[in-house]
Amino acid sequence: MALVSTKQILEEARNKGYGVGAYNVNNMEQIQAIMTAAKETQSPVIIQASRGALKYSSFTYLESLMKAAVIENPDIPVAVHLDHGNSLESVVKAINLGFSSVMIDGSLLEDGKTASTYDYNVNVTCSVVKYAHAKGVSVEAEIGTLGGSEDGVGSGKINLTDPKEARRFVSETGIDSLAIAIGTSHGAYKFKGSANLAFDVLKKIRSLIDIPIVLHGASSVPKELTDEVNKYGGRMPAGATGVPISSLQEAIKLGVSKINVDTDGRLAITATIRKVFAEAPEKFDPRDYLGLARTVLTNLIITKMKDFGTAGHAKDYSPISLEDMKKQYASKY
């Protein structure tokens, strides 16, 4: 079994200069698509579940599916990660489910909407680091806030990360990776005009901190997919935009190691299902449309794994177990 921490996956990626996608999941088909893509391209991978995803699946269903992904793919390094944990309690729950990595998003208050203070963020992050590291689990935290709002995650206002504050935050908390705000937003409407990322801020942060950097809100929102959704009866308002792949590749070059993708997967699934319903309205076996959506999603992720440079790196290293991570963390304190 190759369940590993995101610390190992991201440090390896950082050393070799490639990015690793962290793909959000809610159901079996998404998990299977990610793992098929990882196997096909021989990529290490991060599968992540939000609090909303865990609630949607009554926790244990998704837990078992994520464990199945690890069991079925013993040769692929897989991290199972909690996305946007909002409290120590949510993190404890994920760790008890067997997650190897957690995010505590203390840039927002527990409601997941209201921007918090620096001190609040440090306090909640430190409590999570203490708990998680004692279990060998790695911790991602965030400083600065993204735009957009997905299912209650996000304040809606962008507040770019202050590089000096980022340095202080990393040294005061002992986290393993840092999510930063450089102009991205969650969801399908990221930019008013063309994509505009604050690469100067990223460069400055990279020069001041020495842990892997995470980019949330990194879907590319391909026009073919939004067009297809609308062509087959969807009503996505005009103006959907994402982060172009060239910008993500530039961000990877400048030091981003983890790239969070949820929206693109949602679009691929919705476009495919709409197409099947429109073109073959006689079909009513869920496997006819969920199976095809799974294939389309697999191909989308294969392309991302190649574009981010993750492909071919699955066998570069021997997985470090959480038990050994526990010892590594213990020797640090």
Choose which of 11, 12, 140, 150 interacts with ligand G3H (CB under 6 A).
Answer: 150
52 contacts which partner out of Zn ion, ligand 13P, ligand G3H, none, CB within 5 to 8 A by kind? ligand G3H
Catalytic residue among 83, 105, 176, 307: 83
> Contact positions toward ligand 13P, by CB under 6 A?
24, 83-84, 186-187, 216-219, 260-263
Provide the phi-psi class of 5: left if phi over 0, else alpha when psi is between -120 and 50, else beta.
Answer: beta
CB closer to ligand G3H, 142 vs 162: 142
Give the contacts of 149 (CB within 8 A, at least 6 positions apart): 113, 155, 156, 186, 187
* Closest residue by Cα to residue 152 from 221, 94, 100, 83: 83
> Contact positions toward Zn ion, by CB under 5 A?
216
Task: Report the DSSP beta bridge partners of residue 47.
Answer: 23, 80
CB closer to ligand 13P, 5 vs 184: 184
121 contacts which partner out of ligand G3H, Zn ion, ligand 13P, none, CB within 5 to 8 A by kind? none
The Cα–Cα gap between 178 and 161 comes to 11
Piece in contact with ligand G3H (CB under 6 A), picked from 95-103, 146-154, 170-178, 297-305: 146-154
The Cα–Cα gap between 297 and 265 comes to 6
The Cα–Cα gap between 178 and 169 comes to 9
Piece in contact with ligand G3H (CB under 6 A), picked from 1-9, 145-153, 204-212, 232-240: 145-153
CB closer to ligand 13P, 20 vs 261: 261
The Cα–Cα gap between 98 and 94 comes to 7
CB of 45 to ligand 13P, least distance (A): 15
The Cα–Cα gap between 11 and 258 comes to 10
Choose which of 186, 275, 294, 304 interacts with ligand G3H (CB under 6 A).
Answer: 186
User: Helix, strand, coil: what percent of the chain each, to 5?
Assistant: 45, 15, 35
Any catalytic annotation for residue 324?
no
CB closer to ligand G3H, 65 vs 311: 65
**Residues classed as catalytic:** 83
